[in-house]
Each structure stands twice: as C-alpha cells, then as structure tokens.
Amino acid sequence: MTGALVLLAITALTGLILWAFHSPSADDAAQPVADEAGECCGLHEVCVKKGRQMIAPEYFDDEELDCFAGRTPDSYTDDETEQFRDVLFTLLPEDVEPWGFSLQARGIEMPAPIHDEWVMLATEYRNNKSNSNASQ
C-alpha cells in the first residue's frame, strides 16, 4: 500500500513538472489563429476546398439557388430547404460532389440537413466508384 502511494506521488510530481515546462505561454495564446470556419465542406478528413476555391462555378440547372448567396445554413425555411433537396436528388451520382463545390464557389451555403445528405451521397458515390475500380 505504501509503495502504491509513493508511486502515485512520483507520478503526480512528474506530471506537474512536465505540465509546468510544457504549458503554453501567453505569447503562444496571443497568436492569431486563421479563422476558417465555414470554409471546409466537411467531406474529407483533410480539407481539399483550398484546391477547389479557384474553380469556376458550374450550374446544374440550379440557377434559382443563386438568390441564397450569403445566407447562413441555419437561416433557411423548410420550403427553401426543399428547393435544395429537389436539386440534390435530381443530380446524377457523379454530379453530387461537384454540385456542392459549385455552390461554395457561388457563395451559397447549403442548409445543414442538405449538407449532411450531400456528404452522405458524395461519400457513397466515391466508395462505390472505388469499389468498382478495385474489382476490375
């Protein structure tokens, strides 16, 4: 029992010393962090949006969505969300992912539920495509 207490005390002391020497300084905390909120689509573990920012917007018979440019994902009504859903579910599977990037290039943020559906469909298409390529 005494040995366990001594071991616990040594471990706590070591942790305290490591924390004191490795804790972030005030200078580290004051450095600005690039605010990239809303910039990444969330489809990838590593954001590829930076490479796609320079693409020209492509239209998928969805010009009516241009009126939503500059809106936040949580500001859409149910009817407006349905407009996005109608376009999403009429796309060809290979057009789902480019459609999302095209919306981003046009300054249009999808409603949150549509974004989730878009991620699911684009990931499903990519997985099916990679599985079919692997079987050939």
For the stretch 61-119, pLDDT in tens is 999 999 999 999 999 999 999 999 999 999 999 999 999 989 999 999 999 999 999 99
Give per-residue pLDDT as tens, 41-51. 666 554 555 54
Residue 135, pLDDT above cutoff 60: yes
Q: Which long-range contacts (CB under 8 A, 24 or more apart) does 103-106 make?
A: 103/65, 104/41, 104/49, 104/52, 104/53, 105/52, 105/53, 105/55, 105/56, 105/57, 106/57, 106/65, 106/66, 106/69
123, pLDDT greater than 70: yes
Output the pLDDT for position 11.
86
